[in-house]
Amino acid sequence: MRILHTSDWHIGATLKGQSRMAEQIAVFGELVELAKTERPDLIIVAGDLFETAAPSAAAQKLLVRTLSALRGTGAEVIAVAGNHDHGAAIDALRGWADAAGITLRGTVGKAADHLIRGETRDGEAWRCAALPFVSQRYAVRATELFDLTSAETGQSYADHLRRLVAALSAGFSDDAVNLVTGHLTVVGGKVGGGEREAHTVADYAVPATIFPPTVHYAALGHLHRHQRINGGCPIRYSGAPIAVDFGEESYTPGVVLVDVTATTPATARHVPLTSARSLKTLRGTLEELREATMDDEAWIRVYVKEHPRAGLREEVQELFPNALAVHIDPTMTREGETPRVRRAGRSPRQLFGDYLDERGHEDPAVAELFDRLYDQVSTVPVPTEGE
């Protein structure tokens, strides 16, 4: 069986106000051509389909067109919602998706609804436990399909996720390829620049042991860097198909192709996707920058080693028309001047941490409370039945 594993599409993303839609259209076209060439039996999209919970009409159109084109290659397609997505809105597309032969899961329901069964062109059976993103405050609600004691209800997020995965994988079979896909943070994963920080901190990190050894391959999303996680079964993040932030400029965007059978271990290879513009950071004086060579297609961030003055930004942007961000290098602050804390590109948790440091307050409980409060106001509510 061959699987194409991708995640973190972030359709509709912008970079310093610059739309990335044209790049995403090109990248998804490259992805469809790859699927035609490699002929996977199953394509898994492991969350964060959209950049925001309220995507534009153009972003929704691109999602529908891309999923349809991938299904048109003959592969089965499974996609789950991520923390950037509105899970209930993803579920609202299930009528269209079912008719198109595409499996969408936006929110957690009964366990049986999340165990997807299929068969390859050659007749090999597979099972996939498809788990969309679950926030901390809805983790207990998601496990209400179990009979929980009061002690179990008060357990950690990792305990609830372990119970969910165990329930979803209960239907695995020895004579089938057993798969898990989810949008979550596993301990040991390396966080990059584009993930939502409040959903990658310690309270959201789960151990690799939540995946049972019966799993042939765990296809994860959420961390944008392609990476393998050590565990009792093969666990990988595919990485994003496009670098969404300058903090990810060193990454190689792409997808993962996996070959596996019910009786042989999974082998995986990362396939780069090259249609998007690269992201680059330049540092130097104006004179040094004038001598720099740069790909005309790259989006650029510049740290200029000059003291602030009128017209400096314009001079830099004249040198580099694709410069989306121009900053004064922090080393160039005037003598005796207190360096300003850089706010652009920093997460709310990092900014709050700076505030605590300035006030000399180092109580971890306060930072943890901030994480929980920020999670409550930044996570799309899951409607109760009948809403």
Each residue of 120-167: pLDDT tens digit? 999 999 999 999 998 766 655 555 555 545 445 556 788 888 888 988
385 part of a folded domain: no
Closest CA relative to residue 303, chosen from 327, 319, 279: 327
Residues 172 and 318 in one domain: no
If you average pLDDT over every residue of the chain, what do you get?
A: 85
| Through-space distance between the first and last CA atoms of the chain, rounded to whole angstroms | 40
Residues 234 and 298 in one domain: no
Give the total number of structural domains in the chain: 2
Residues 175 and 112 in one domain: yes
As a whole-number percent, the residues of the chain with pLDDT over 70 amount to 82
What pLDDT does residue 275 have?
94
| Model confidence band, residue 332 (pLDDT cutoffs 50, 70, 90) | low
Question: What distance in Å separates the CA atoms of residue 298 and residue 29, rounded to the nearest whole number?
Answer: 20
Residues 292 and 199 in one domain: no
CA atoms within 13 A on the CB side of 363: 6
Residues 250 and 309 in one domain: no
DSSP, res 291: H
287 part of a folded domain: yes
Comparing 246 with 378, the larger pLDDT belongs to: 246
Q: Mean pLDDT lowest for which of 250-254, 344-348, 353-357?
A: 344-348
What pLDDT does residue 194 have?
52
184 part of a folded domain: yes
336 part of a folded domain: yes
pLDDT tens-digit series, residues 173-182: 999 999 999 9
Residue 198: C-alpha distances to residues 149, 161, 215, 372 (Å): 28, 17, 28, 8
Rg for the chain (alpha carbons), in Å? 22
What pLDDT does residue 353 have?
73
Q: Say if residue 296's pLDDT is above 90.
A: no
63 part of a folded domain: yes
Q: Mean pLDDT lowest for which of 5-9, 61-65, 200-204?
A: 200-204
Q: Mean pLDDT lowest for which of 67-71, 80-84, 333-337?
A: 333-337
pLDDT average, residue stretch 281-308:
88
The CATH number of residue 136's host domain is 3.60.21.10
What pLDDT does residue 354 have?
72
Residues 291 and 359 in one domain: yes
384 part of a folded domain: no
171 part of a folded domain: yes
Residues 28 and 177 in one domain: yes
> Which of 249, 272, 295 is the last residue in one of the domains?
272
pLDDT average, residue stretch 328-355:
64
Residues 304 and 167 in one domain: no
Q: Mean pLDDT lowest for which of 6-20, 226-240, 363-377?
A: 363-377
What pLDDT does residue 197 have?
46
What pLDDT does residue 126 have?
97
What pTM does this model have? 0.82
> Which of 248, 272, 296 is the last residue in one of the domains?
272
Q: Say if residue 65's pLDDT is above 90.
A: yes
Residues 59 and 200 in one domain: yes
pLDDT tens-digit series, residues 29-44: 999 999 999 999 999 9
What pLDDT does residue 297 have?
87
User: Domain range holding 321?
Assistant: 279-378
Q: How many helices (H) and strands (E) would you count in the chain?
A: 11, 19
Q: Say if residue 83's pLDDT is above 60.
A: yes
Residues 264 and 285 in one domain: no
Residues 151 and 102 in one domain: yes
What pLDDT does residue 110 have?
82
As a whole-number percent, the residues of the chain with pLDDT over 90 amount to 57
Residues 236 and 285 in one domain: no
234 part of a folded domain: yes
Q: Say if residue 16's pLDDT is above 70.
A: yes
Strand bridging mode 125-131 / 177-183 = parallel
> Which of 250, 272, 294 is the last residue in one of the domains?
272
